């Protein structure tokens, strides 16, 4: 788990470093979520499982992580925008 959070531990105040840390976090988490035994299992299966279901299974955790982080980022941006609009309107 420490290896997954490592990009954030060495993070400083720079915004570019934040985006790089988020990308590193996503890739490290993806590596942890895809077990090695299933990779061997997919190699032994028939072509339909091997070439269609295998890539879908390994891409699914990455897609879900990116969607969840994207939703969180857009929610934060939306809340900040809403606060700015309400602040200008009432103050």
The per-residue pLDDT for range 26-83, each reduced to its tens digit, is 777 767 766 666 666 666 666 666 566 667 777 777 888 889 998 999 999 999 999 8
- pLDDT for the residue 71: 92
pLDDT confidence bin for 9, thresholds 50/70/90: low
* Of 23, 24, 28, 19, nearest in space to 1 by CA: 28
- pLDDT for the residue 11: 55
pLDDT confidence bin for 19, thresholds 50/70/90: low
- The domain locations on the chain are 2-90
Q: Which residue has the higher pLDDT, 81 or 25?
A: 81
Q: Other CB atoms closer than 10 Å to residue 10's CB: what's the count?
A: 9
């Amino acid at each position: 788990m420490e290896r997954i959070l490592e990009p954030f531990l060495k993070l400083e105040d720079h915004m570019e470093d934040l985006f790089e840390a988020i990308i590193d976090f996503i890739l490290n988490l993806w590596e942890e979520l895809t077990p090695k035994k299933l990779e061997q299992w997919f190699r032994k299966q028939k072509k339909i499982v091997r070439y269609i279901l295998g890539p879908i299974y390994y891409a699914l955790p990455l897609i879900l992580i990116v969607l969840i982080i994207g939703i969180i980022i857009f929610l934060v941006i939306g809340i900040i925008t809403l606060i700015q609009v309400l602040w200008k309107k009432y103050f």
